[in-house]
Amino acid sequence: MTSADIHPMDDIPVRPLKFDFNDRTADDAIWSQSSPLFAIFANAFTLHVPYFERYLVRTMGKAKRKISDESLLADVNALIGQEAHHANAFIGFNKLLKRRYPKAEALETHASQDFARRMKSDDFKSMVGFTAGYETFTFLAGMMFLGNYDAWFAQSDDSVKALWVWHQVEEVEHAAVAFDVYKYFYGEHEWYRKRMVLKALSHIIKEVAKAYFHMCKVEGYFKSPLKAARAIGFLTKLLSMMLWDVRPVFSKNYHPRNHPLATSRQSAIAIGWRRFQKSGGDVLAIDKPKMAKIMKLAV
């Protein structure tokens, strides 16, 4: 990132992109030839994340009725807009996964019911804290995905690739909002914020692992010890990468805006994508020539 670049969290536009995967068959579920295991990991993530996003929308809807700070209120409205579109897009994508994986529908239903129950039972502090904790990891995942684009996305379905790039860019853009909302209401309870980060991490690992191992079984990874070790090793690697990047989050003076992934290690793809989309570029599918254009705009 150069000194001329604005901070990625300075602007949170709502981009109502609509992706259509109705023409995809079950064979299209493994959409990355660069890394089929990454496609499985991302697919496992998508089965539950739209329902967290709906939980976030409900939480922020409650919060904004109590916020008097106009700047924070504008950010909250933008966050709600972005996440509502993310949830709709991934629920649409999950229809493809249900064509291939026998347990996908049950896993998705469980996630839907789990977050619906949380909406009814969680008090306001729990909702705000859990949302801030969860958004910690969607932000880190966003930068991790974009930072490994060549290894995981280079040879992949153009539309699925575009879906994930859009999602991850916006997760970085609004990464500070849920954190700021928590600080607005409960800034003196730093211990509780850290506790909710760990609670969110535990929930994410549990939900992703259930879906990931089911999908790996369907794809035949557990038919031989070598393939099973490869699948387990890949999941362990990704979780370890995320845990490494989460370390600054536990600092007393932490703020998402100051995380290296949003400053000195900002993604060139994210910079270029934002400029390309703002100029009217079509971001519903990203092939190699289009990514080349995006990367030129990052310079």
> Is 25 a domain residue?
no
Per-residue pLDDT of 114-172, as tens digits, reads 999 999 999 999 999 999 999 999 888 888 899 899 999 999 999 999 999 999 999 99
Query: Do 287 and 142 belong together in one domain?
Result: no
Q: At what angle do helices 124-147 and 177-186 cross, to 10 degrees?
A: 150
Q: Which of 2, 139, 116, 133 is CA-nearest to residue 50?
A: 116
Find out whether 9 and 79 touch, Cβ atoms under 8 Å: no
Percent of the chain as helix, strand, coil, to the nearest 5: 70, 0, 25
Per-residue pLDDT of 11-59, as tens digits, reads 899 999 999 999 999 999 999 999 999 999 999 999 999 999 999 999 9
Per-residue pLDDT at 298: 85
pLDDT at 104 over 50: yes
Structurally, the chain folds into a number of domains equal to 2
Per-residue pLDDT at 299: 75
Find out whether 295 and 268 touch, Cβ atoms under 8 Å: yes
Per-residue pLDDT at 3: 39
Mean per-residue pLDDT over the chain, rounded: 93
Which residues, 6 or more positions from 130, have their beta carbon under 8 angstroms from its beta carbon? 118, 122, 196, 199, 200
Query: Do 98 and 180 belong together in one domain?
Result: yes
Per-residue pLDDT at 143: 84
Expressed as residue numbers, the domain containing 298 is: 267-299
Query: Do 38 and 125 belong together in one domain?
Result: yes
Query: Do 142 and 277 belong together in one domain?
Result: no
Query: Do 100 and 215 belong together in one domain?
Result: yes
pLDDT-based confidence at residue 245 (cuts at 50, 70, 90): confident
pLDDT at 1 over 70: no
Q: At what angle do helices 124-147 and 104-121 cross, to 10 degrees?
A: 140
Which residues, 6 or more positions from 51, have their beta carbon under 8 angstroms from its beta carbon? 87, 108, 111, 112, 114, 115, 116
The encoded tokens of residue 16 equal 């109502």
Mean pLDDT of 62-86: 96
pTM of the full predicted structure?
0.93
Mean pLDDT of 216-228: 96
Per-residue pLDDT at 4: 42
Query: Do 207 and 101 belong together in one domain?
Result: yes
Q: Which of 45, 81, 52 is CA-nearest to residue 210?
A: 45
Question: What are phi and psi for residue 66, nearest 5 degrees?
Answer: -115, 0
Query: Do 194 and 299 belong together in one domain?
Result: no
